[in-house]
Amino acid sequence: MMRIVKGNEAAAIAAKLAKPDVVAAYPITPSTDFPEKIAEYVANGELPHTQFIPVESEHSAMSACIGASAAGARACTATSSQGLELMHEMLFIASGMRLPIVLYNANRALSAPINIWCDHQDSISARDTGWIQFYGENNQEALDLMLMSFRIAEDPRVLLPAMTCIDAFICTHTFEPVDIPSQEEVDAFLPPYKPTHVKLDPDEPMTLGPFGVPEYYQEMRYAQHLAMKNAEKVIDEVFVDFERRFGRKYSKVSPYMIEDAEIILITLGSVSGTTKEFIDKMRKGGKKIGMVKLTVLRPFPSKELIPLIKNARVVATLERNISLGYGGAIYADLAGILINEEKRPLLIDFILGLGGRDITFNDLEEIVKACEKLIEGERIERPVWIGVKKELV
C-alpha cells in the first residue's frame, strides 16, 4: 500500500509491523513523532501486545530496552543528537550483552551551541559502540532498513543491536510516498523473536553482564568483533531475501556512474540524491564523475568498496561530521582499507553541511574543482571545509 508519510512515521510504521514487545522512549526533536505514533498505535489497539514505556530520559529509555531484551522481548526505541549521546554508556552495554535492540535515530547536530538540524555527528560518534549502523537516503529506506534491522540484529549468528539513521528534517519531517507492506508479508519476513541464549527469569535468578576480569574481558570483545564480521554475510542474505519478497534492492554500497569515473564522491544519507542529480549535470558537460552511497557503515563494507573505488584518480568523502583536529570519520575508514592496495586513488575529505546547512550544487562544484587540482598535482591541505564564513570565525 502506498502512503504519503514523513520519515518519522515511516520508521514508526516499520516498528509497528515488527510487533515489538517493548518500546521505551523519551521524546527529542526531531524524532518525537516516532514515540508519539507508537503511543497512538498502543492506545488505539493496533499494537495490543506492545508495552510502551514513557521514561524520564534517553539513558532510561535504553536501560529499559536492555532489561526488556535481556528478558527475551523484542525491544526498540528512537532518539536523536543529545539523546543518543545520553544513551552512549548504555549503547556499549546493549552490545556487550549481545542484545538485538533496534534504534531509530534522526541524525541531528550536537550541542553546543544548540542546533536541531541535520548532521551525522551523533551516530558517527557512536560507530565504535558495537552497533550495526544503517543510513537511509529517504523515507522508503527508513521503513525498509528498520524492518531489516530487526531480522539482522536477531539472527543467532549476530545478536548485536542495530540502528537505522535518517537525516533530520530533510527526511524526518518531509512527506514522501512510501510503499508499506502488509502485516502478513512482514510476518513471513520477520518471525517472532525467540532468544537463543539465557534470559532473565524471576524463577531462575541470574546476573547478566557481570564483572569482566582481565582473564575473560578481551575474549568477550573478540566475540563481539566476530559477530560484527558475521553480520556482513547476514546483511547480504537479508538484503537478497527482502528484494525477493518486496521488490526493492539494497546493498551495503550503491555505485552510480563509476565505470569510467576519474572522481568518485562518497556519500551518506540524503545528500546522495542531490549528488546523483549533480553528477547527471556534470556528465552532460563531459566530467567523469561518479558516486558511491554507503548504506551500511558498521560493519564497514571494505570488500565491497575497494573494487569500486581503487581505479579512480581521486576519491572524495562528503562528511557531515568532523573529528576535530583530524578530519572526516569516513575518510579515516577509507584510508585504512586502502593503505595496503598497490593501486589506490588520491583520497581527500570535505567537511560540509554541518548543523543543517544546505549542500548545494555550488558546494559540489567546489569539491570537484579541488579534486581536479589534486589530479593536476596541486597539494591541498585536508580536511577541506566547504562554505565556511571565515569572517564569522
Q: What is the CATH number of the domain that holds 380?
A: 3.40.50.920
- Mark which of 246, 261, 280 sits at the end of a domain: 246
Specify the CATH number for the domain of residue 26: 3.40.50.970
Buried b (16+ CB within 10 A) or exposed e, 270-281: bbbebbbebbee
Same domain, 348 and 322: yes
Q: Tell me the percentage of the chain whose pLDDT exceeds 70.
A: 100
Provide the pLDDT confidence category of residue 207 given band limits of 50, 70 and 90: confident
Cα–Cα dist 242/152, whole Å: 11
- Residues in Cβ contact with 17 at an 8 Å cutoff, skipping those fewer than 6 apart: 147, 180, 181, 183, 186, 190
pLDDT digits (tens, 9 = 90+) for 320-339: 999 999 999 999 999 999 99
- pLDDT for 210: 84
- Mark which of 246, 272, 290 sits at the end of a domain: 246
- Residue 198: pLDDT above 80? no
- pLDDT for 134: 98
As a whole number, mean pLDDT of residues 151-165 equals 98
Provide the pLDDT confidence category of residue 359 given band limits of 50, 70 and 90: very high
* Sign of the torsion angle spanned by Cα atoms 129, 133, 137, 142: negative
Same domain, 272 and 331: yes
- pLDDT for 200: 86
Cα–Cα dist 63/61, whole Å: 5
**Alpha helices of the chain — where are they, by DSSP H?**
7-17, 33-43, 58-70, 82-86, 88-96, 121-124, 139-154, 183-189, 214-246, 271-284, 302-309, 329-338, 361-375
- pLDDT for 208: 85
Same domain, 115 and 145: yes
As a whole number, mean pLDDT of residues 49-74 equals 97
- Residue 57: pLDDT above 90? yes
As a whole number, mean pLDDT of residues 181-193 equals 97
Q: What is the mean pLDDT of the chain?
A: 97
Residue span of the structural domain in which 161 resides: 2-246
Same domain, 27 and 171: yes
The total domain count for the chain is: 2
Predicted model pTM: 0.97
pLDDT digits (tens, 9 = 90+) for 211-244: 899 999 999 999 999 999 999 999 999 999 999 9
- pLDDT for 204: 87
- pLDDT for 196: 83
DSSP string, 331-353: HHHHHHHHTT-SS--EEEEEE--
pLDDT digits (tens, 9 = 90+) for 88-105: 999 999 999 999 999 999
Q: Which amino acid is at 388?
A: V
- Mark which of 189, 211, 246 sits at the end of a domain: 246
